[in-house]
Structure 1
Amino acid sequence: MLKVGSRGEAVLALEKRLAELRYDVGAVDGRYDQQTWQGVVAFQKYAKLKRTGTYTLETQEALHAAILPEGLHPELGLPRIEIDIKRGILLFFDEQGLNRVIAVSTGSNRKYCETSKKSGERICGVGHTPRGTFRIQYKISGWRESDLGKLYNPLYFKDGYAIHGSPSVPAYNVSHGCVRMSIATSEWFFGTVKNGTPVIVFG
């Protein structure tokens, strides 16, 4: 079993295998850090395994037999972004095909009432991520303060809904409606994805 904090050749082999299948593990350096954890979780989500982030025997067997993930909406062409809410993953396709599979956390579908970080007013709603076909409308570099918290490198695809970096990206859907990814992933994602890129949200 490998987990956060593990190091060595076994971790390096794991990272190489995940990267080969386009899962985002960050640096392939033999260190099981939080970004490696995100990559393992993304694979577990895609393979419909327990979302532990730990490299168990079950995960090892599934990874050994795994093939390159496939998108469900090729009709949108290239490039495109597919967000599978049930699985909790984002598939990013560039002009050449599948670029990366990313673990994300979307709307919790739970009611919330919180005090706005900007206005101080009470805001209530349901943590719902909109389904449908959209496009990246605009991007904001760095941190942005929203009513419900801070967003890092947000890419807006519908009204105030964005794909953005967050310090907290658990294995399950817990957001107010945005699509969270790790801070490290958002660094390259923001710089790579262009305005106008099609986004389909389903599940």
Structure 2
Amino acid sequence: MRVMHGRPAHGVGATVGKRVLGTLGAVALTAGLLSACDGGEEPPADSAATSSPSPEESTPSPEPSADEQEPEASASGPSSEPSGDGTDEGDDSGDGTAEPGEDEGDGASQGEGKPDKDGDKDPKEEEPEEPDYIEYGEVSNRVGKLQQRLKDLGYFMTSVDKAYGGETQQAIFALQKAGGLYRDGVVGDATQNAADDGVVPKAHTSSGKVLEIDVDRQLVLAVEDGKVVKVINASSGNGETYEAKGATYTAYTPRGSFAVFREVNGMHSSTLELGDMWRPKFFTGGIAVHGSASVPAFPASHGCVRVSNSAMDWIWDTWGAPSGTPVVVY
């Protein structure tokens, strides 16, 4: 039996996890064709890039396969099993009279174990049990508590509204990546423990304001003087080949030390006709960090580094990262 790090691999949790993940792959892979890198300075051709290592070679945790993934806003709410076995023993003790020779207090009344005459059940027995995991769609105080914890740790969260939506899922993906856990967005024991223990990735730089991109763990870190101030879920090049304007390329995100050299404050269409990018900040050739409506838990882009649109707005409007900001990719 495989052990799921983010939740138990049995019972309702496993069933829902597989069901939820089933839809994601097709949508996420389709999204890979809709969000793109710019062709102003084209990414390296296939012959030059195929020798580079796949971005996921050294990923510390198993990746869900493409057909197991879930689009960030398509999952249904949590399912739960009703408590008990669906029957109610009741407490009717018959007509209250005892047969001659019987002891009224011996517990042998005729109605024992049967529903009362009205067939009513205890309302408490009808209430479903709260599942032992948290997943997309749940609205509860425990979700609010988790959101606040993630925000306090520096994972990108803009609100604490007690509703597990797309933004919370992005933060959970980032937490699971930082902790080397299975990236399914479901908060089981291992993921909850990671939040409780304060798991946060470490910076690789020690001075200045730097945008760090961890390709292995698919994370973007906003770092100031060696301190991680924000952790953002990301999706980079998936390592596959693709055709664009008659040429073949490899969806590869290069590693190294770069700097923001061009930025577009708005929606930008790829000159390779690969899709649109929200407020991109280019750091090498046609490769940029940019906002996207689809940021799965696995590599899915043509080489650029996707983050959520709201996270990209934060980079632009709150944190800054103007032209010249160092970008370190590892």
TM-score (norm 1): 0.90
Q: How many residues align?
A: 194
Partner residue in 2 for 1:118: none
Structure 1 unaligned spans of 5+: 115-120
Q: Which has the larger radius of gyration?
A: 2
Q: Which structure carries more strand by proportion?
A: 1
Deviation at 1:67, TM superposition (A): 4.4
The answer to whether the Cα contact below 8 Å between 2:291 and 2:308 also exists between their aligned partners in 1 is yes
Pick from 66, 86, 91: which aligns with 2:216?
86
Structure 2 unaligned spans of 5+: 1-132
The answer to whether the Cα contact below 8 Å between 1:79 and 1:198 also exists between their aligned partners in 2 is yes
C-alpha distance 18-155 of structure 1, shift in aligned 2 (>3 A): same
1:129-179 Cα shifts (integer Å, max 9, x gaps): 011000111210111110211000100101111000011111001111000
The secondary structure found in structure 1 opposite 2:327 is strand
Q: Which residue type is aligned with residue 201 of structure 1? A: V
Pick from 157, 170, 186: which aligns with 1:38?
170
The answer to whether the Cα contact below 8 Å between 1:79 and 1:97 also exists between their aligned partners in 2 is no
Q: Measure, in 2, the Cα distance between the counterparts of 1:177 and 1:201.
A: 12
Q: Which residue type is aligned with residue 91 of structure 1? A: L
Q: Which runs of 4+ in 1 moved over 3 A?
A: 94-97
Q: Measure, in 2, the Cα distance between the counterparts of 1:129 and 1:49.
A: 23
Partner residue in 1 for 2:262: 138
1:50-76 Cα shifts (integer Å, max 9, x gaps): 0011111210112211244321222xx
**Identity of aligned pairs, percent?**
34
Q: Which residue type is aligned with residue 60 of structure 1? A: Q
The answer to whether the Cα contact below 8 Å between 2:179 and 2:199 also exists between their aligned partners in 1 is no
Q: Measure, in 2, the Cα distance between the counterparts of 1:128 and 1:15.
A: 33
Q: Which residue type is aligned with residue 169 of structure 2? A: W
Partner residue in 2 for 1:117: none
The answer to whether the Cα contact below 8 Å between 1:26 and 1:36 also exists between their aligned partners in 2 is no
Q: 5 Å matches for 1:21-60?
A: 21-60=153-192
The answer to whether the Cα contact below 8 Å between 1:155 and 1:190 also exists between their aligned partners in 2 is no
Partner residue in 2 for 1:176: 302
